[in-house]
Amino acid sequence: MENWKIKKNVLLSIMELSKSSFPNEFSGMLVGDKDKKLIDDIYIIPATQNHRNSSSIRLDLVPMSFSIIGTVHSHPSGSAHPSRADLNFFQSKSVNIITNYPFGLKDFKVYDNSGNDIFLEII
C-alpha cells in the first residue's frame, strides 16, 4: 500500500468544505509535491457544480500546474467507496480523496489512479 501525507489544516479545510456542501457533493483539486507524496493545499475551481449524487469540475478552469497532484470530493451518502465515474476520473491523478458523512477527521478513504487504497498520514 502506498503512503502519502497531508497537512492537518488542509484535511480540516476539506472536511469543512464537505460539511458546508452537504447534502450535495463537494469537489476540488489537491495540491502538493508528488515526489515527496505530500498534500499541502487544495484548489477550489470556479463554476464547479455540486449536486446530491455528482459533482463536476470545469477542467478548462483548472490552473495549468504540476503542483496539482490529485482530486478530492465528498460522498454525502456516508460511503467512501468510489463509483465507476470516480474510478474513471482518478486515472488522471496520483492521489484521490473521498470524504464521507459525517465528515470527521477519520471519515475519508484515499485511492491511487487505479482505485487501490492509499494510506494517508495526517501531519
Domain 2-122 sits in CATH at 3.40.140.10
Find where cell 471519515 sits.
107
pLDDT digits 0-9 by tens, 72-106:
999 998 899 999 989 988 888 999 999 999 999 99
The predicted structure's pLDDT at residue 106: 95
- Locate the domains of the chain by residue range: 2-122
d(CA 54, CA 35): 31
Would residue 2 show up in a list of annotated catalytic residues for this protein? Answer: no
pLDDT digits 0-9 by tens, 41-55:
999 888 777 767 777
Alpha helices, DSSP H, located in the chain? 8-21, 84-90
Selected catalytic residue, list 2, 16, 25, 121: 25
Mean pLDDT of 29-43: 97
- Give the three cell numbers for residue 26: 463537494
